[in-house]
A and B are shown apart, each in its own frame.
Chain A
Amino acid sequence: MTVSQEKDPELESLSDEQLALALKRGDEGAFDVLVSRHQSRVYAVAYRFTSNREDALDVTQEALLKVYRKIGAWQPTGGFVPWLLRLTSNQAVDMLRRRKRHQHEQLIDEVRRKGGHAPVEPASMATDEQVRAREIDDRVQRALDVLSPTQRIVFVLRHYEGLQLADIAVAVGCTVGSVKVHLFRALKKLQKELKDLYSG
């Protein structure tokens, strides 16, 4: 992925929170920098929910547009990234709900069974390891479907995005204790789904 936009070095040097405040003030350049900086991360989270490239791209675009529209609601006291990833997760969960409502589930399952989702490229791995990682990731991606929306958000933000549990609690709007319980349940469910992989 290449970013062709001309960059403003002064804006580039600002932190996410400084850029978000500048955007609140109406600085459009700050929005461009935030998008360029975080679109890959937003897409990765969206993909963990939607399991296919097109939906993940839709979620990413809508979530980033929401950043622009809802920046007024962002509180400078909270971090920008947890807020951004909460918008993304909510957008993705909404899409999953819409998808279920439209009864496309069966079709998507079929596509997925045939390996229809975009492959994940684990960086710098030997070929055997790469194949094995893809296989596991494919299984994990399917296993994520058994998690409740909150369990899925907590697991994705902690495992893949490395967010602190305290930040996830802010993002999800619950206590750190609840986040830990959701994480435990998510890991237990995943363990059940993936237990045959342990021997390999």
Chain B
Amino acid sequence: MSRCRRVRGLIAAAVYEEPSPRERELLRSHLASCSACRAEAEILVKTAALIPNCAPELPWDLLPAIRRCLAERRAPAWQRPLRWAMVAAACTVLLAAVVYEPVVSRLAKHSKSSTMANSSNLQPQVSPLETALNESAQLIENKEFTKAFQLLAGAVDRHPTDPKAGEAQKRVADVAFDGLAWYPQAYAAYEKLAQKYPNTLRTSPEAVWRRNLLAETRDSDFEALYTIEAAARGEHDVFANLEQIVCAHPGTFVASHAAGKMAALVVQEAEAPEGENKHLYAMAQARECCSQPVAVVQLTLEMGLICWEEMSDAARARDLFNQAVNDQHTVLAQRQLAQDSLVRIPQP
């Protein structure tokens, strides 16, 4: 009976697929001696043959509807009514209603006295956002990221034309990304930076890179970034888990982000030998520790990018990108990234 149970799966599989020689022999010898299973096999073949294999026809092309859905969902996050933003707005209105009068009267007094003080004092004025930036620096040093985020975001909203507004907006985004791992808010903050203070964004390659990374992961609700964060904070197999993420997203900003975390894990920045670029050194050390060929290729690409973008070392960058192009384990996305990078580097 237990033998019958073991061959049942084989019988069902054999209805659809050619069994392996070993399975065929097992089936043949069992069916020759077991009439019950023989009957079972016959009835299963009959059942499968009875069920018509016909497909229902798709009534219309779904691509236009899907495209529309994607376009709607892709509207910048800060233009959409985020729940936390609505709650914050509601709280502000409520707070304003409760404290409006006393605050206004106090502000009026303060305004008068400060105007008098300013007119009698010729010291250079500090802009409101400069003050906020200084205060936030202290909060960030104390790892009070939430307070820093709220302070700066509120200050930028109140003084959008302040000369320091771009810098403050960039710091809002950086705190959300780096300190808090609040990716939806970081995405919204970098988008606002791009829309309202494009010059500040342009001068920061790191901010441009983060904006691209967030845009890449936004459609999956930043899932990959949370996975990287969880892997980096894990207690066991941190390097291996990050390597898995690199292999799952080859040739993307996500892979690049995970590779950066791997490099940071392997080498503390202070350990780089004198005269050596610390990022390149860390990435090379991490590459030595990789066990997956696709991850090795990705870290080679990262090294090439560091050589070109940070060190302007065209020869070394070209060599690394060529290694990535010619590696038999390189996947399509990585090869295209390497080829695109080679095009950007001037030929000798």
Q: Can you report 21 residue pairs joining A to B where beta carbons are below 8 Å apart?
A: A1-B59, A1-B60, A4-B64, A21-B331, A24-B249, A24-B250, A25-B333, A25-B337, A36-B61, A60-B58, A61-B65, A70-B220, A72-B217, A120-B55, A120-B56, A136-B52, A140-B52, A159-B51, A194-B50, A198-B46, A198-B50
Q: A25-B251, A32-B63, A69-B220 are in contact. List 14 more A-B contacts (CB 8 A).
A: A1-B58, A24-B251, A39-B61, A40-B58, A43-B62, A56-B56, A64-B66, A72-B217, A75-B247, A118-B59, A137-B52, A140-B52, A187-B44, A191-B43
Q: Give the chain B neighbours of A70 by CB distance below 8 A.
A: 220, 223
Known: A24-B251, A60-B62, A159-B48. A69 touches B56 (CB 8 A): no
Nearest Cβ on chain A to B340's Cβ, whole angstroms: 10
Known: A181-B9, A187-B44. A160 touches B224 (CB 8 A): no
Q: Does chain A have a CB within 8 A of B296?
A: no
Complex Cα–Cα for A23 and B288 (A)? 30
Nearest Cβ on chain A to B47's Cβ, whole angstroms: 4
Q: Give the chain A neighbours of B50 by CB distance below 8 A.
A: 136, 194, 197-198
- Contact yes or no, B252 A43, CB < 8 A: no
Picked from A72, A122, A184, the residue with its CB within 8 Å of the CB of B12 is: A184
CB nearest neighbor in B for A135 = B52
Q: Does chain B have a CB within 8 A of A113?
A: no
CB nearest neighbor in B for A15 = B332
Those 4 A-B pairs whose CB atoms lie nearest each other, nearest first:
A180-B9, A184-B12, A122-B54, A44-B55
Q: Give the chain B neighbours of A188 by CB distance below 8 A.
A: 44
Q: Does chain A have a CB within 8 A of B193?
A: no
Scoring A32, A61, A183 by chain B CB atoms within 10 A of each residue's CB, the highest score goes to: A183
Q: Does chain A have a CB within 8 A of B219?
A: yes
| Chain A 1-20 near chain B by CB (<8 Å), digits 1 or 0 | 11111000000000000100
Residues of B92-108 contacting chain A, CB below 8 A: none
Interface size class of B (residues with CB under 8 A): 35 or more
Complex Cα–Cα for A75 and B249 (A)? 8
Q: Does chain B have a CB within 8 A of A148?
A: no
Q: Does chain A have a CB within 8 A of B126?
A: no
Q: Give the chain B neighbours of A142 by CB distance below 8 A.
A: none
| Chain A 182-199 near chain B by CB (<8 Å), digits 1 or 0 | 011001101100100110
Q: Does chain A have a CB within 8 A of B53?
A: yes
| Chain A 35-65 near chain B by CB (<8 Å), digits 1 or 0 | 1100111011001000001001100110011
Picked from A43, A72, A122, A165, the residue with its CB within 8 Å of the CB of B220 is: A72
Nearest Cβ on chain B to A131's Cβ, whole angstroms: 12
Q: Does chain B have a CB within 8 A of A107?
A: no
Our count of residue pairs bridging A and B at CB distance below 8 angstroms stands at 162
Complex Cα–Cα for A165 and B54 (A)? 20
Complex Cα–Cα for A181 and B67 (A)? 40
Q: Give the chain B neighbours of A2 by CB distance below 8 A.
A: 61
Q: Give the chain B neighbours of A69 by CB distance below 8 A.
A: 219-221
- Contact yes or no, B224 A137, CB < 8 A: no
Q: Does chain B have a CB within 8 A of A158?
A: yes
Picked from A3, A136, A159, A198, the residue with its CB within 8 Å of the CB of B63 is: A3
CB nearest neighbor in B for A191 = B47
Complex Cα–Cα for A197 and B51 (A)? 10
Interface 9-mer from B13-21, B266-274, B314-322: B13-21
- Contact yes or no, A61 B12, CB < 8 A: no
- Contact yes or no, B51 A57, CB < 8 A: no
Residues of B243-268 contacting chain A, CB below 8 A: 247-252, 254
Known: A73-B248, A137-B54, A187-B12. A5 touches B63 (CB 8 A): yes
Q: Give the chain B neighbours of A3 by CB distance below 8 A.
A: 61, 63
Picked from B15, B58, B247, the residue with its CB within 8 Å of the CB of A43 is: B58
Q: Does chain B have a CB within 8 A of A123?
A: yes
Q: Give the chain B neighbours of A164 by CB distance below 8 A.
A: 17
Q: Give the chain B neighbours of A184 by CB distance below 8 A.
A: 8-9, 11-12, 44
Q: Give the chain A neighbours of B53 by CB distance below 8 A.
A: 159-160
Nearest Cβ on chain A to B212's Cβ, whole angstroms: 9
Nearest Cβ on chain A to B62's Cβ, whole angstroms: 5
Q: Give the chain A neighbours of B13 by CB distance below 8 A.
A: 165, 180, 183
Q: Does chain A have a CB within 8 A of B277?
A: no
Residues of A117-143 contacting chain B, CB below 8 A: 118, 120-123, 133, 136-137, 140
- Contact yes or no, A53 B59, CB < 8 A: yes
Complex Cα–Cα for A40 and B16 (A)? 23
Complex Cα–Cα for A63 and B242 (A)? 28
- Contact yes or no, A68 B10, CB < 8 A: no
Scoring A4, A18, A136, A187 by chain B CB atoms within 10 A of each residue's CB, the highest score goes to: A187
Q: Does chain B have a CB within 8 A of A177?
A: yes
Q: Does chain B have a CB within 8 A of A22?
A: yes
Picked from A22, A47, A122, the residue with its CB within 8 Å of the CB of B332 is: A22
Q: Does chain A have a CB within 8 A of B70?
A: yes
Nearest Cβ on chain B to A74's Cβ, whole angstroms: 8
